């Protein structure tokens, strides 16, 4: 599996292992074949008619009960996520609670107005539009948020009358299986089906579903976008980032250093919103030293320990890829300010790493590493910092640290990312606000909040004219 939760060739049997203790096999799952995917989608289509025919109040009630069921099983999901994907305890607990909130939010959204009444041309007829479900939603999700990302796709899909067939990343299959079990009794047969699998399973799902929502790597997302376009189905793809944090001299440098360190290194940097580039504007003396100290203060170790901020990366290939990227930068003249090595013999642990004296156009500054690695770049002024920040193919999120409101307003307009955050870390997403990037970071309509209705529904227009009888 690739670092961003992409798809690789099928092996026939999926093994879930702990990245902190790779010898520990949690479970094995047979990979879902293309024929089984077709059968699952056919069953989903049969279930969708009944689900869409339920009153919106009933769908809302079931989503509310789903939220309660996830809340009841929160402890179990937290423990399983810690072991299977190596997510630190505090972050995993927060993620599960976010999943509960997402289900509750869309339980309410199911009761939102679903159309518009329009003036008729003849003054006697009725003319209105409604948003109606698309059908079977194919959901392809990564391992790094094994509860929240599936739920922020699943919840609006179901709220608006669709059903879902879901393929999680292989490395998060055990969490996915348990989440499916928790939701099954509440939602009913056929409303949600989880299909363990890898590349073949994902490809088959894209070929069968009525719409596809994907989160993962840019490479895989691009192929899904192309396949969806060939079938003329809606596709939504969130594909990572190379996120910049700009620090101006008038910022609270100690506070900024603490937030940047946590955003870059927390969960071993394995978030699409993690800070990858730190752009320090001239005059910010002392910031880099403060950042190094903040990184060194982060606890690295067992993700089950409440004090841990940085656990393992997800796999041996992710670890070796990150170490190689740092070494390549070093050979090209960059300087490792802190970290840069594997930190434990057992498990896929890497020291949180800052790399300085690196060129903005270098591989390390242009491509997503998905590990606890960030570069430190220098800019003479804000204009140059913005140019550097925008100088990548990704455009997910950027952050600016300053006490100058005018600078913040000007920069926020010019930073070419889907999200701009001022005096706040790049990481962190509000589930009730639109989420998604530009360029190689995103394709299609945005996720989350009220925006989700536009992806999971289509518009149907009705005209009802009088029959003319009795006139």
Residues carrying an active site annotation: 238, 272
| Closest to 57 in 3D by CA, of 131, 109, 133, 135 | 109
| Closest to 373 in 3D by CA, of 296, 276, 290 | 276
Phi, psi dihedrals of residue 45, rounded to the nearest 5°: -65, -40
Distance CA 300, CA 275 (A): 18
| Closest to 290 in 3D by CA, of 328, 257, 264, 266 | 257
Residue for token pair 């509860």: 147
Judge residue 120's burial from the number of C-beta atoms within 10 Å of its C-beta, 0-12 exposed, 13-18 middle, 19 or more buried. middle
- Tell me whether strands 353-356 and 335-338 are parallel, antiparallel or unpaired: antiparallel
Q: What is the dihedral of CA 438, 443, 448, 454, to 10 degrees?
A: 120
Run of H or E residues at 464: strand 457-464
Distance CA 21, CA 348 (A): 8
Whether the CB-CB separation of 228 and 206 falls below 8 Å is answered with yes
Encoded tokens for 363: 């591989």
Phi, psi dihedrals of residue 210, rounded to the nearest 5°: -85, -20
Q: How far is CA 185 from CA 12, 66, 340, in A?
A: 29, 9, 47
Contacts of 353 (CB under 8 A, 6+ apart): 322, 326, 336, 338, 339, 340, 371, 372, 373, 374
Residue for token pair 């999200």: 419
User: Which three-class secondary structure state does DSSP give residue 349?
Assistant: coil
Contacts of 278 (CB under 8 A, 6+ apart): 244, 245, 247, 260, 264, 291, 354, 374, 375, 376, 377
Distance CA 361, CA 366 (A): 6
């Amino acid at each position: 599996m690739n670092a961003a939760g992409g798809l690789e060739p099928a092996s026939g049997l999926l093994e879930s292992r702990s990245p902190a203790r790779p010898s520990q096999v949690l479970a094995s799952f047979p990979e879902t074949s293309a024929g089984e995917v077709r059968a699952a989608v056919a069953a989903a289509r049969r279930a969708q008619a009944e689900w869409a025919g339920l009153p919106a109040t009933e769908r809302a009630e079931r989503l509310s009960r789903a939220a309660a069921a996830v809340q009841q099983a929160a402890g179990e999901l937290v423990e399983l996520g810690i072991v299977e994907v190596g997510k630190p305890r505090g972050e995993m607990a927060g993620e599960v609670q976010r999943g509960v909130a997402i289900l509750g939010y869309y339980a309410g959204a199911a009761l939102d107005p679903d159309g518009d009444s329009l003036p008729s041309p003849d003054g006697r007829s009725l003319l209105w539009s409604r948003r109606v479900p698309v059908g079977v939603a194919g959901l392809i999700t990564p391992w790094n948020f094994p509860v929240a990302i599936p739920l922020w796709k699943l919840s609006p899909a179901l709220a608006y009358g669709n059903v879902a067939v879901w393929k999680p990343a292989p490395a998060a299959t055990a969490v996915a299986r348990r989440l499916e079990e928790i939701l099954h009794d509440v939602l009913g047969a056929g409303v949600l089906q989880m299909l363990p699998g890898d590349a073949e399973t994902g490809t088959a799902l894209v070929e069968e579903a009525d719409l596809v929502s994907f989160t993962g790597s840019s490479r895989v997302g691009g192929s899904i976008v192309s396949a969806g376009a060939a079938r003329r189905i809606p596709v939504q793809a969130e594909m990572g980032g190379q996120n910049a944090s700009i620090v101006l001299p008038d910022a609270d440098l100690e506070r900024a250093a603490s937030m940047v360190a946590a955003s870059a290194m927390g969960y071993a940097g394995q978030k699409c919103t993690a800070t990858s580039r730190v752009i320090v504007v001239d005059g910010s003396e002392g910031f880099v030293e403060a950042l190094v100290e903040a990184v060194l203060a982060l606890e690295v170790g067992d993700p089950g320990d409440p004090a841990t901020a940085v656990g393992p990366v997800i796999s041996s290939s992710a670890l070796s890829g990150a170490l190689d990227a740092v070494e390549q930068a070093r050979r090209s003249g960059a300087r490792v300010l802190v970290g840069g090595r594997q930190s434990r013999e057992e498990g896929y642990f890497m020291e949180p790493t800052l790399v300085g004296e690196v060129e903005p156009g270098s591989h390390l500054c242009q491509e997503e590493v998905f590990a606890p690695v960030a570069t430190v770049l220098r800019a003479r002024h804000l204009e140059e910092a913005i140019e550097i920040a925008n100088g990548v193919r990704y455009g997910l999120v950027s952050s600016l640290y300053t006490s100058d409101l005018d600078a913040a307003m000007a920069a926020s307009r010019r930073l070419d990312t889907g999200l701009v955050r001022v005096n706040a870390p790049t990481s962190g997403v509000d589930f009730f606000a639109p989420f998604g990037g530009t360029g190689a970071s995103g394709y299609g309509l945005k996720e989350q909040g009220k925006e989700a209705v536009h992806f999971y529904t289509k518009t149907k227009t009705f005209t009802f004219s009088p029959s003319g009888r009795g006139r």
